[in-house]
Amino acid sequence: MSNARATHLSRRGILAAGGALGLGAALAACGDDAKSGGSDKETTAAKSGPWSFKDDRGQTAKTDKTPATIVSFIGVAAALHDYGIESKGVFGPTELKNGKPDVQAGDLDISKVTNLGNTWGQFNIEKYAALSPDVLITTMFDAVGTLWYVPEESKKKILAVGAPTVGISVYDIHLPTPLARMLELAKSLGADTTSSTITAAKKRFEDAAARLRAAAKAKPDIKVLAGSASDTIFYVSGSNLSADLEYYKSLGVNFVEPPASALKASGGWFENLSWENVDKYGADIIMMDNRTSAIQPADITEGTWKKLPAVKAGQVIARNPEPILSYAKCAPLLEDLAKAIENAQKVS
């Protein structure tokens, strides 16, 4: 999921950049103690004094007290929600045309937040300022710390509102790292990170990782392709740079790997294939981008797609290249991939 400012990708390229896979499983709402925002004692203590948090740019955000009015990228808001921390404003893919929540909203009740912009490049600065935000939080998909979904052309005006910013990196690292950082951030904001709900979710994630490692070891020949679909292009992701794919690879998953020369044009993220060449790589499982920016498998009409062995075998699963960074949301991603590998037939 490279960033436009870093790799000069097109808008579509940026949105597709995480590739394909998106074990689009969503865990049910986290339970009463997670929704309550943690213990009264911890929350009160957090709000009584100055607050600071050093982000992944090495910058320290500071406020006189723990932020109460939080504005977040939608995926960050969804992750913080799982830890009992609520955002007042959000930006990024939040609401579908039919009014339902976008996949990146997780369990967030989108009727209770102010939507500052639903698509790439949208960010309503007037609404943002009206919220009197205490902090703006988002992720980062490049090495230079560009704030994801904060429009470059209006960045100065957004920063001029005065709220400090926090960036959590998901670039070229393994998934457990940003998961731990998001949990650390939630704790600083008043979450009770020792609650039974959060402890159980973390244990589930660890168990899922062990299951995926075992599945990959048992079936090392099963090839997994991470892809994303547009009208004219099929994107095949390399397993480097994306936090989820890098982690799955470290657990032993055998990914289809486009050569570096094919990935170069996208800054190392993915290879562009025409639909006529969608069968360039053999794969036993295809993980498809489940974000609204991508065409979903059921809506792909290309005959070349339907002829792929993995498609014919029904071995296509979902992937969100922008996973919601809570253990509750990421555990099912690992479980779904493990199950797919466990049940996969060799078809490539």
**Which of 250, 249, 277, 288 is closest to 19 using CA atoms?**
288
pLDDT at 5: 31
The DSSP output letter for 29 is: P
The DSSP output letter for 95 is: B
Whether the CB-CB separation of 16 and 271 falls below 8 Å is answered with no
Q: How far apart are CA 324 and CA 123, in angstroms?
A: 21
How many other CB atoms are found less than 10 A from the CB of residue 122? 14
Bridging pattern class, strands 89-91 and 114-115: parallel
Q: How far apart are CA 1 and CA 315, in angstroms?
A: 24
Distances in whole angstroms, Cα of residue 66 to Cα of each of 40, 53, 80, 138, 262 = 14, 10, 14, 17, 46
**Which of 340, 336, 330, 343 is closest to 30 using CA atoms?**
330
Bridging pattern class, strands 60-63 and 51-54: antiparallel
**Which of 319, 304, 299, 333 is closest to 226 using CA atoms?**
319
Tokens found for residue 234: 């099929």
Cα radius of gyration rounded to whole Å, the chain: 20
Mean pLDDT, 10 residues at a time, the chain of 348 residues: 36 41 30 37 54 98 97 98 98 96 97 97 98 98 97 97 98 98 98 97 98 98 98 96 98 97 93 97 98 96 97 97 98 98 98
89: phi then psi, degrees, rounded to nearest 5: -130, 150
Cα angle for residues 6, 166, 69 (degrees, 5° grid): 135
**Which of 334, 151, 131 is closest to 250 using CA atoms?**
334
End-to-end CA distance of the chain: 27
In what helix (H) or strand (E) does residue 179 lie, and over which residues does it extend? Answer: helix 176-188
**Which of 335, 291, 326, 332 is closest to 78 using CA atoms?**
326
pLDDT at 48: 61
Provide the angle, in degrees to the nearest 10, between the axes of the packed helices 176-188 and 243-250.
120
The DSSP output letter for 171 is: B
Cα angle for residues 216, 219, 224 (degrees, 5° grid): 65
pLDDT at 86: 98
Count of alpha carbons within 13 angstroms of residue 348, beta-carbon side: 20
Whether the CB-CB separation of 188 and 51 falls below 8 Å is answered with yes
pLDDT at 47: 55
The single residue listed with the structure tokens 């865990």 is 27
Tokens found for residue 4: 């436009």
**Strand, helix or coil for residue 226:** strand
